[in-house]
Structure 1
Amino acid sequence: MRSVTLGPVRLSILEGDLRAITFDGVEVLRRLSYPVRDPNWGTHPTETLEERLEEEAGRIRYLHRFRGREAGFTGVFRVEVTAEDGAARIRAEVSLEAEADLAVNRAGFTLLHPLRGVSGQALRVRHADGDEEATVWPALISPSQPVFDIAGLAHEVEGVSVEIAMQGEVFEMEDQRNWSDASFKTYCRPLRLPLPFTLGPTAPVGQMVEITLSGRAKGAAAQVAARRARLPVVEMAVEPGLTALPRHPDLPDLPRLIRLEAGVSDAVLAGLAGGRADALEIVLAEGDDPEVVLRGLAERLTVAGLRPERVMALPAPYLKSHQPEGPWPDGPRPIDLIAPLRAAFPGVAVGGGMLTNFTEFNRCRPDAGLVDYVTWGGTAIVHAADDLSVLETLEALPEIFASGRALAGGRPLHLGLFSIGMRSNPYAAACLPNPGRERLAMVQDDPRQGTGFDAAFAVGVLAGAAVEGVASLALAMADGPLGASGDLARVVAWAAARAGEPVEVETGPVETGPVETGPVVAIRSAKGRLIANLTVEARENPFGAGILAPASVVIEDGA
């Protein structure tokens, strides 16, 4: 990653995209990219043909020529940055061509707007017909697109005026916090139009975005922020077929979050038996009669010696994502399983929610008055998989947890697995293959699992969950592609030994507070401390001596 500065503007260039664009020290745009996405929403990997950066007095120019590594398209991305009299302009153009027709779900500019100084603030939208609309950036996470038909945006971020004009396509916006991205996304093309569409010899893409920046920042001096909280219970996720072991070999006494298909064999149930009470996630096959199937499963669980302390169930079609307005699958809805669950598991806490991301939870919300708790899970690589993007998702998690609490009606948040890799794919037939173990979106086999990076990520998840009052969650699986090993297993063990205890979550240095995650986060208990560097750069340890390596953890036991 290379950073450049021109007057009050600073930006970074990473893999051909503009990242972390700031004006007078205030982040005004998180990313400007130009992905080409296939009909399964996978992002086509590209390779660079030419890259050139020119810096001169009052001007920066950047050129990136590229082509699809596996698909037959080429593209050119040009940027010119100018600054004068305390203001700046960023003009970006992209062109995409394909030698033969290529089916795509997206091709062109994507703008990621930061959360800080933006969520809940005023926004003016210029539509394609020239009309203007006054609205706000969502505070709680919007289940559907908050803004449609965009030709321009204007707003202020901590004293800095931001005006954005688009040409070449009609854009719309989605609240990416749904997928744990720490951003609002303005993208093309509108989802109401038919997908996929064609990029080809007679259908090239040519777009322009112009960003005008002015004003002065209102930010405060950097400081360390601290919040008192209570540590969640950390469970170990187990799923026959995805995990081979019934429990983690080094952490056999951890409570388990077991996911089962309702038709699972008695032999598999017998292999899971033993140990303490567990929480169950049950998936009913399409066409199952909930009353018959759940009652039969409950009887077989009793025979096997499995005693759930919590249980939730979901029809299999709801493992896939559906737009808020539908259409929804035929057959039983999630809410239709609550009464059969209570009948099959008397005296056991019954939950509602989803087994995938907050996106699906937000779009198909449980009736909080009918359940004892709510649940959903999370992955860090729905839209992007580079190290910086993965760590940025940690900024969104506290807002996700807060939005979930607002929907839970006072019910506790007993959440599922939060991992870097994708456990299942709600947006395509399956997780995408990754034979080369690259950093790719929507894959299960992520190369950072087991490297220590996953441990730093888990500390960030744990910090946000503690501050936002999450009752329990899983940070890893017993084994398999999302299994806990190395530092991640040590982080899980540290947290499990302190479940429910009061802690202090410290973040720093940040320029305003309080926030739940920052460049470095520390979770301090009476019996030790976790410290994690949540950036891609080495950082000075604000909570002790020494330098913290990028995306690393320090685990301290004892008083």
Structure 2
Amino acid sequence: MRTITLGPVRLALLDGDLRAIRLDGVEVLRRLSYPVRDPYWGTHPTETLGEILEEGPDRFLYEHRFAGRGVAFTGCFRAEVTLLDGGARLSAEVALDAPADLAVNRAGFTLLHPLRGVSGAPLRVRHADGREEETVWPALISPGQPVFDIAGLAHEVEGVAVEIALRGEVFEMEDQRNWSDASFKTYCRPLRLPLPFSLGPSAPVRQAVEITMQGQARRAAARAAPARIPLPQVMVAVEPGLTTLPHHPALPDLPRSIRLTPEVPDAVLAGLGGGRADALEIILPEGADPGSVLPALAARLARAGLAPARVMALPAPYLKSHQPEGPWPEGPRPMELIAPLRAAFPGVALGGGMLTNFTEFNRCRPDPTVVDYVTWGGTAIVHAADDLSVLETLEALPEIFASGRALAGGKPLHLGLFSIGMRSNPYAPDCLPNPGRERLAMVRDDPRQGTGFDAAFAVGVLAGAAVEGVASLALGMTDGPLGARGDLARVMAWAAARAGEAVEVDLGPVVAIRSARGRLIANATLEARETPFGGGVLAPASVVIEGEG
């Protein structure tokens, strides 16, 4: 990553994209990129053919020529920043070409807007026909697109006025917090149009964006001292097929969240017995009768010695994503499983929600009056998998938990697995293959699993969950691609030993969780940072664990 400074403007270049565009220290735009996405929403990797970088006293120019890696398309991105009186202007163009028709779901500019100073703030939208509309950026997470038909945007971020003009396509906006991204996303083309579409000789992409930013940063208010709050219960996830071990080898007493289907063999159930099974997640096969399948499974679980404290069930078609307005899958809806589930598991707390991301939870919300808790899970790499994007998701998590709490009607949040890698893929047949163990979106086998980076990420997740009153969540699996290894297992052991204890939490760039019996400290940035308590410097994306044992 290369940092560019031009007067009051500061930005970063990373893999051909512009990142963290700031004026007077205020983040105006989180990212300007130009992805080409396949029919399953995977992003085609590219290779650089050439770059030009020119820096002057009042002007910055960057040009990036690239080609698809293993896919036939080429492109050129050109960006120029010029200083203005009291501000600056960023002008950018992108051209994408393919020698033969290439089926894509997206091709062209994507703008990521930051959350800080933006969520809940006023927004003026200029539409393609010239009309202007006054609205607001969503405070709670929008289940669908909050803004359609965008030709321009105008708003203010912490004292800096921002105006954005877009040409070459009609754009719309997503609330990316649904997928744990710490941003709102302006993208093309509209999802109401047929997908996939063709990028090819008769359909090239030619787009332009102009961003004008002027003003000075407002002085930030001093942060309040952290309050003492209960630490959530940390669990380990088990799922036959993804895991082979029924218990974590180093953490045998850790409470378990077990996911299975009614077809699970008796031998597997027997192997799962003999330990804590605090949470059970049941995937009901398509076409199965819940009135007969669920009682039969409950009887088999009892024979295997599994007595869960909490149970939720989900029809298998709801493992895939659907738009808020539907259409919904044939068969029972999630809330229609509650009555047969209560009959099969009398006296057990029953949950409602989803077994995938907050996106699906937000679009198909449980009725809090008929469930005892709500649930969903999370992955950090739905849209992007570089280190910076993964760490940025930690900023979105408190807002996700707060939005979920607002929908829970006072019921507790007993959440599923939160990991970097993807457990299941609601947007494609399965997680994407990753034989080279690269940093790729929508893969299960992420190379950071089991490293200090993974542990630092988990501390950030846990801290955000504590601040927003989450009751429990899983941070790793017993084994397999999402297994808790190395420092992550140590973090989970530290937290499990302090479940429910009062802790102090700091959500700064260096995340800290302090109990009376020790501290978890994580550097959630890509730069070396001093610890907030003195005593040394933390390496990028690393963790310090005090008070083990």
Asked whether the two chains share a fold, i.e. TM above 0.5, the reply is yes
Shift of 1:431: 0.1
CA contact (8 A) 2:258 2:277 kept: no
Asked if 1:522 is matched to 2:512, the reply is yes
Asked if 1:126 is matched to 2:116, the reply is no
SS at structure 2 position matched to 1:226? coil
Give the aligned residue type for 1:334. Answer: P
Q: How does 1:170-209 map to 2 (within 5 A)?
A: 170-209=170-209
Asked if 1:547 is matched to 2:540, the reply is no
Q: Deviations over 1:376-435 (max 9, x none)?
A: 000000000000000000000000000000000000000000000000000000000000
Report the equivalent of 1:30. Answer: 30
Task: Note the residue ranges of structure 2 that are not aligned, 5 or more in a row.
Answer: none
Report the equivalent of 1:322. Answer: 322
Report the CA distance shift for 1:51/1:227 in structure 2 as closer, same or farther (over 3 A): farther
Report the equivalent of 1:385. Answer: 385
Report the equivalent of 1:510. Answer: none
CA contact (8 A) 1:531 1:554 kept: yes
Report the equivalent of 1:234. Answer: 234
Q: How does 1:41-440 map to 2 (within 5 A)?
A: 41-220=41-220, 226-440=226-440
Report the equivalent of 2:467. Answer: 467
Shift of 1:221: 7.0
Separation of aligned partners in 2, 1:169 and 1:246? 51
Identity of aligned residues (%): 81
Give the aligned residue type for 1:548. Answer: L
Asked if 1:479 is matched to 2:479, the reply is yes
Q: Deviations over 1:127-178 (max 9, x none)?
A: 0000000000000000000000000000000110000000000000000000
Separation of aligned partners in 1, 2:43 and 2:160? 32
Report the equivalent of 1:513. Answer: none
Separation of aligned partners in 1, 2:207 and 2:374? 43
Report the equivalent of 1:3. Answer: 3
Separation of aligned partners in 2, 1:14 and 1:119? 26
Separation of aligned partners in 2, 1:451 and 1:222? 34
Aligned residues: 549
Q: Deviations over 1:301-326 (max 9, x none)?
A: 11111101000000000000000011
Shift of 1:223: 6.0
Cα RMSD, aligned residues only: 1.1
Give the aligned residue type for 2:16. Answer: G
Report the CA distance shift for 1:529/1:328 in structure 2 as closer, same or farther (over 3 A): same
Separation of aligned partners in 2, 1:552 and 1:544? 16
CA contact (8 A) 1:10 1:22 kept: yes
SS at structure 2 position matched to 1:369? coil
SS at structure 2 position matched to 1:115? coil
Task: Note the residue ranges of structure 1 that are not aligned, 5 or more in a row.
Answer: 507-516
SS at structure 2 position matched to 1:94? strand
SS at structure 2 position matched to 1:214? strand
SS at structure 2 position matched to 1:229? strand
Separation of aligned partners in 1, 2:277 and 2:365? 27
Shift of 1:244: 0.2
CA contact (8 A) 1:395 1:518 kept: no
Shift of 1:224: 8.1
CA contact (8 A) 1:163 1:213 kept: yes
Shift of 1:84: 2.5
CA contact (8 A) 2:38 2:103 kept: yes
Shift of 1:222: 7.3
Separation of aligned partners in 2, 1:178 and 1:249? 34
SS at structure 2 position matched to 1:361? helix
Report the CA distance shift for 1:287/1:167 in structure 2 as closer, same or farther (over 3 A): same
Q: Deviations over 1:199-258 (max 9, x none)?
A: 001110000000000011103277685242210000110000100000101100111000
SS at structure 2 position matched to 1:324? coil
Q: Deviations over 1:335-384 (max 9, x none)?
A: 00000010000000000000000000000000000000000000000000
Give the aligned residue type for 2:22. Answer: T
Asked if 1:489 is matched to 2:479, the reply is no
Which stretch shows the higher mean deviation, 269-278 or 486-495?
269-278
Shift of 1:539: 1.1
Shift of 1:278: 2.4
Separation of aligned partners in 1, 2:368 and 2:47? 48
Q: Deviations over 1:479-501 (max 9, x none)?
A: 00000111000000000000010
Q: Deviations over 1:22-62 (max 9, x none)?
A: 11110010000000000000000000011121001210000
Give the aligned residue type for 1:521. Answer: V
Given the two structures, how large is their TM-score scaled by the length of structure 2? 0.99
CA contact (8 A) 1:368 1:411 kept: yes
Separation of aligned partners in 1, 2:247 and 2:339? 30
